[in-house]
Amino acid sequence: MSDIVLDWADGQPVSRRFGDVYFSRDGGLAETRHVFLDGNRLSARFAALPEHAVFTIGETGFGTGLNFLAAWQLFETTAPARCRLHFVSTEIDPLSATELASALALWPELRPWAQPLLAQYGALPPAWHRFQFRGGRIVLTLLVGDARETLPRLDARVDAWFLDGFSPARNPELWSDALFRAMSQASRDGTTVATYSSAGAVRRGLEAAGFRMDKIAGFGRKREMLRGTFVSTARGGSVAPWLRRPAPLASRPRTAIVIGAGLAGTAAAASLARRGVDVTLVEREDHVAAGASGNPQGMLYINPSAHGTVLTQLLLGGLGFTLRELAAHLPDDATAWSRCGVLALAHDAEEALRQQALAALGWPTGFSRVVDRAEAGALAGVPLPTGGLFYDGGWVHPPALCAALARIASTCDPRTARWRWSATTVSGMCAPRTARRCAPIWSSSRRPVTRGRWARRRRCH
Ligand SMILES: Cc1cc2nc3c(=O)[nH]c(=O)nc-3n(C[C@H](O)[C@H](O)[C@H](O)COP(=O)(O)OP(=O)(O)OC[C@H]3O[C@@H](n4cnc5c(N)ncnc54)[C@H](O)[C@@H]3O)c2cc1C
Ligand SMILES: C[S@@+](CC[C@H](N)C(=O)[O-])C[C@H]1O[C@@H](n2cnc3c(N)ncnc32)[C@H](O)[C@@H]1O
């Protein structure tokens, strides 16, 4: 991976690795709408979604995020209000934040959608990164790595595929049977696919994987493109029972009870609420973070392996997600949290070797970089015996994070002998009737970290 992914030619972004353009010179946004949105009939399918449905799009090649933003824009203008969009994309060379901003500046019409993406986007090491927008209604899962490795591990039910890697002529490795098989594993009857390519090998590969393909008129100078629909009986071979996806739940749960308002409980409650579930958060004490999460300062750091382990990918994805949650919900004011970075010193020969191996992975420097002894000392504010690795991260006051997560909504239930909050929306608003009857629970002796509305049970009657 490198910090610089793009070159610019005639005002258009071009990939350094593949030497190909990211979108048609005839008009990238119009091409996206023709090939991917219309090719998958998304306007009509979004409009016909039942209440609370989740529509999942899978993509090869996130690039500048143009397809994502165009799909999001269409979803917001056509889908019923309580439906959600999950966009799963893959990217081997994620753009830097600066490159993404320059590329998306080409589409002023998409500014209202590009801004929230840019506000969250940062240096992305190889991992699965989740972004949430519009209170969780729009979710982006970005699988950073080679799609041929990441997609076969994806456990999802995709409704529509955008096949948008660089052209098969420039990037033949991507358009492989392995990729088409992975797509078929994550498809169901009726899943659609669209691609600007009309190459015979692509058509044959997709057909062998179970897609019934058609050629239709392409965009701009491209005479033809492909689109298709997945039919499970057309898939070659059979899937062993233990590899089959479980059938989807007939109905999604509408309510849930979460016990314990520590980091685990409040994060679970927030996550469920974002999925439209009415959550009741039950805590035995009279405040959040009454257990281990009550410690005043938690470091936001990871101890990665240089061997690309699944655990390391999980840690990288989790750290990024946590930092985005914190940036969205708490002020970085050195009271609630601070993104001051974390310095890992090369304190002995073994650690120095480990750090060399990590540095050789070439992760984006905005995420981790080697610092010498002088810079390490300057960062830490004290003289140090050695340099090391400087990571994105910092520290958080965990009770502030618990409060922020639980603040999505709060009510108190006079029928219970215990503290009880109910998180019903993502917006953090308390039901007005309850809000009048509830008072903040933090006493002045505590750090001023909660800004939510909290309920003291004895006032609720
Ligand atoms: C001193 C200290 C320093 C730490 N430093 C770090 C760090 O630097 N970085 C890091 O990542 N992690 C750190 N940790 C670990 C981290 O804080 C914990 O892993 C995390 O807070 C655990 O959260 P939890 O929600 O699982 O548990 P808890 O925070 O313990 O939450 C459990 C909650 O459930 C409630 N409960 C229990 N039983 C019931 C019941 N029957 N009914 C209702 N409610 C109930 C409890 O009152 C409590 O509020 C540290 C922990 C400590 C103690
Ligand atoms: C044509 S561009 C995609 C444009 C993008 N969809 C957009 O909206 O801007 C192709 C993208 O596929 C990515 N790519 C190419 N090969 C890949 C692979 N093997 N795995 C993951 N991504 C790959 C490239 O880095 C590039 O970003």
Higher pLDDT, 450 or 409: 409
Q: What is the dihedral of CA 104, 105, 110, 112, to 10 degrees?
A: 110
Contact (CB, 8 A) for 82 and 274? no
50-68 residue pLDDT tens: 988 999 999 999 999 999 9
Higher pLDDT, 452 or 228: 228
162-197 residue pLDDT tens: 999 898 989 999 999 999 999 999 999 999 999 999
Residue nearest to atom 49 of ligand 1 (CA): 290
List, chain by chain if needed, residues with CB within 6 Å of any ligand 2 atom.
Answer: 15, 22-23, 61-67, 90-93, 146-148, 164-166, 171, 174
Res. 238: pLDDT tops 70: no
Higher pLDDT, 256 or 410: 256
Question: Hey, is 404 helix, strand or coil?
Answer: helix
Three-state secondary structure of 331-373: CCCCCCEECCCEEEECCCHHHHHHHHHHHCCCCCCCCEEEECH
Question: Hey, is 314 helix, strand or coil?
Answer: helix
Instruction: Supply the pLDDT for residue 292.
Output: 97
Instruction: Supply the pLDDT for residue 376.
Output: 98
Higher pLDDT, 3 or 184: 184
Contact (CB, 8 A) for 447 and 397? yes
Res. 358: pLDDT tops 70: yes
Question: Hey, is 110 helix, strand or coil?
Answer: helix
Instruction: Show Cβ contacts of residue 254 under 8 Å, excluding neighbours closer than 6 positions.
Output: 276, 277, 278
Residue 221's pLDDT band (cuts 50, 70, 90) = confident
Element (H or E) spanning 320, and its range? helix 310-329
Find the mean pLDDT for residues 301-330. 95
Res. 242: pLDDT tops 80: no
Residue 1's pLDDT band (cuts 50, 70, 90) = low
Question: How many Å lie between the centroid of ligand 2 and the Cα of residue 171?
Answer: 10
Query: What percent of the chain shows pLDDT beyond 70?
Result: 86
Contact (CB, 8 A) for 119 and 21? no
Q: Nearest ligand to the C-alpha of residue 421?
A: 1
Instruction: Supply the pLDDT for residue 239.
Output: 66
Question: How many Å lie between the centroid of ligand 1 and the Cα of residue 293?
Answer: 4
Res. 30: pLDDT tops 80: yes
Higher pLDDT, 279 or 391: 391
Q: Nearest ligand to the C-alpha of residue 148?
A: 2
Residue nearest to atom 17 of ligand 2 (CA): 92
* Minimum mean pLDDT range among 17-26, 74-83, 168-177: 17-26
Instruction: Show Cβ contacts of residue 279 under 8 Å, excluding neighbours closer than 6 positions.
Output: 255, 256, 257, 258, 269, 272, 273, 422, 423, 424
Q: Where are the alpha helices (DSSP H) in 38-137?
A: 42-47, 66-78, 97-104, 111-120
* Minimum mean pLDDT range among 180-189, 241-250, 296-305: 241-250
Instruction: Supply the pLDDT for residue 311.
Output: 96
Residue nearest to atom 5 of ligand 2 (CA): 63
Instruction: Supply the pLDDT for residue 248.
Output: 72
What tokens were used for 98? Answer: 């600066």
Q: Among 2, 7, 20, 22, which is best to mutate for testing ligand 2, by the most ligand atoms less than 8 A from CB? A: 22
Instruction: Supply the pLDDT for residue 458.
Output: 29
Higher pLDDT, 432 or 134: 134
368-389 residue pLDDT tens: 999 999 999 999 999 999 999 9
Question: How many Å lie between the centroid of ligand 1 and the Cα of residue 258?
Answer: 14
Closest ligand 2 atom to Cα of 90: 21
Instruction: Supply the pLDDT for residue 250.
Output: 75
CA pair distance 59, 42, nearest whole angstrom: 14
Res. 207: pLDDT tops 80: yes
Residue nearest to atom 10 of ligand 1 (CA): 298
Q: Among 258, 284, 287, which is best to mutate for testing ligand 1, by the most ligand atoms less than 8 A from CB? A: 284
Instruction: Supply the pLDDT for residue 450.
Output: 32
**0.85 exceeded by pTM:** yes
Instruction: Supply the pLDDT for residue 420.
Output: 52
Residue 357's pLDDT band (cuts 50, 70, 90) = very high
Higher pLDDT, 406 or 69: 69
Question: How many Å lie between the centroid of ligand 1 and the Cα of residue 440?
Answer: 22
Contact (CB, 8 A) for 71 and 117? no
Half-sphere exposure of 343 (CA within 13 A, CB side): 21
386-425 residue pLDDT tens: 999 999 999 999 999 999 999 864 543 333 434 455 544 3
Question: How many Å lie between the centroid of ligand 2 and the Cα of residue 356?
Answer: 29
